[in-house]
A and B are shown apart, each in its own frame.
Chain A
């Protein structure tokens, strides 16, 4: 069934509400939730990858690589993350445009930084001038994902570095005694076992990542905070759906969304932790074993 929403000012009650909640802007608002979930889905694996790289680098045998890994891990301590968010979005954007500028217009003579302006040749603009707004949004979203991944990657690296050190040394020595190479030990013994030690830290980070998603708003992505402010603001009679300032209700909705996400994640993570503790030489694993023996 489709409601006739052509003249919303004549509607009342439930019909008005259902028309109001399916207006074009509201559909965009619902899509913004998908954007948040997409950000989580893209960032989590990427941050895990960066973190894994950082942790492996910090354990490397070569000094420069090790220094790089340690610096990456230490980077985010002591400095508010939001500074990184604001910094990386501009820095990455300028780095991309500058690199493209060097490739596309090699005979451009003017300096890129002129006083207060950052000017690259028109061909090097990313995205190109005149592209559809969708492309701009996707580009902004991509920058946000990379920024989030870099910052969270450092936290993941910290957790994984600790977890790799927590795997009992005897296990690695046994593997070495069997004649495994360094790489084999890493791949077959260290990595499969580190997860149980890493999980508490990682689940904490996941919850923090969920709570960091509203910062997308600061990175210029049209996310749920943006739409909540837009839609909630008071609308005069000039609008199709005039209403007073409803931002409070929109933000309450967002709050409920986040509480639900945290609550759900906590449940899933608790199950996962039980699953990963199976057969491990930890207190949790021991408790599972005992419970199994009794049953």
Chain B
């Protein structure tokens, strides 16, 4: 079997297309590269969707936490504390347990049956957890940024007679984004790293459709040789990290386009491994 055949057979294995059976003997480097790369689709899927949806919740939570109204502030604080204070690993387990408690036949609401079984699948259940988790972490970043908006900017907005929504949309929000963006880039990177936990927690990999680390672990278990599959995942993740840094850097440049070149903040990578 040539390498191209392998790519054709396994490139979309993680989505359920191509060869049904995973290789059992005579593992080649090509197979490992293809299958692990195929698993990376799931990592990108989880990371991307959680990040894009979590962004909006994070904004809302940051504003709620900065609000003077305790009815908004307290729940937001509690939410952020719970999701930032406990391990993501436990959150996955807990969410899975809650989701399988839902009635299997679906919930009957006003004569409409709402199916619930899809929630226990990794693509939905784990995504919800990642969404809430990244929202909490990002909310803390945006909250910090919101508090460091220069006083002068707000005074200038007052002087122009801007209040409420207009002031928020034109002054506060753009500055908050600008200040929080470098930290948010780190959050994005570590969210993608955290997606490797999905199939190692409670969520089962249906028909061996797993993520990059799932396949790497499969190879390491079969060959007793960790020195090939794990460096391959590491290689893929370094590539992924470079792509994320690149995209977020472009957005950062756009956010800071009004500043003279020497005042722009560069994004620095800060390690923050496990959640």
Chain A residues proximal to chain B, CB less than 8 Å: 76-83, 86-87, 90-91, 94, 113, 116-118, 151, 154-155, 158, 204, 208, 211-215, 217-218, 225, 228-229, 245, 247-248, 251-252, 254-255, 258-259, 262-263
**Chain B binding surface, main DSSP class:** helix
**Looking across the interface, which residue of chain B has its beta carbon closest to that of A210?**
B87
Does the CB pair B224–A90 fall under 8 Å? yes
Contacts of B200 in A (CB 8 A): 82, 218
Does the CB pair B101–A263 fall under 8 Å? no
**Looking across the interface, which residue of chain B has its beta carbon closest to that of A228?**
B93
Contacts of A225 in B (CB 8 A): 89-90, 93
A258 to chain B, nearest CB (A): 5
Does the CB pair B196–A83 fall under 8 Å? yes
Contacts of A252 in B (CB 8 A): 94
Does the CB pair A211–B86 fall under 8 Å? yes
Does the CB pair B226–A259 fall under 8 Å? no
* 9-residue interface stretch from B153-161, B214-222, B247-255: B214-222
Does the CB pair A86–B230 fall under 8 Å? yes
Contacts of B216 in A (CB 8 A): 83, 86
The answer, yes or no, to whether B269 is at the interface (CB within 8 Å) is yes
How far apart are the CA atoms of A76 and B225 in the complex, in Å?
21
How far apart are the CA atoms of A204 and B183 in the complex, in Å?
14
Contacts of A158 in B (CB 8 A): 271
What mask results when residues 212 to 254 of chain B are scored 1 for a CB within 8 Å of chain A, else 0?
A: 0100110010111111001001100110011000000000000
**Looking across the interface, which residue of chain B has its beta carbon closest to that of A263?**
B85
A44 to chain B, nearest CB (A): 15
Cβ-defined partner of A83 (8 Å) among B88, B230, B241: B230
Q: Which 9 A-B pairs have the closest CB atoms?
A: A80-B193, A81-B273, A262-B85, A212-B274, A248-B97, A78-B241, A87-B230, A211-B87, A90-B226
B96 to chain A, nearest CB (A): 9
How far apart are the CA atoms of A113 and B224 in the complex, in Å?
9
Contacts of A262 in B (CB 8 A): 85-86
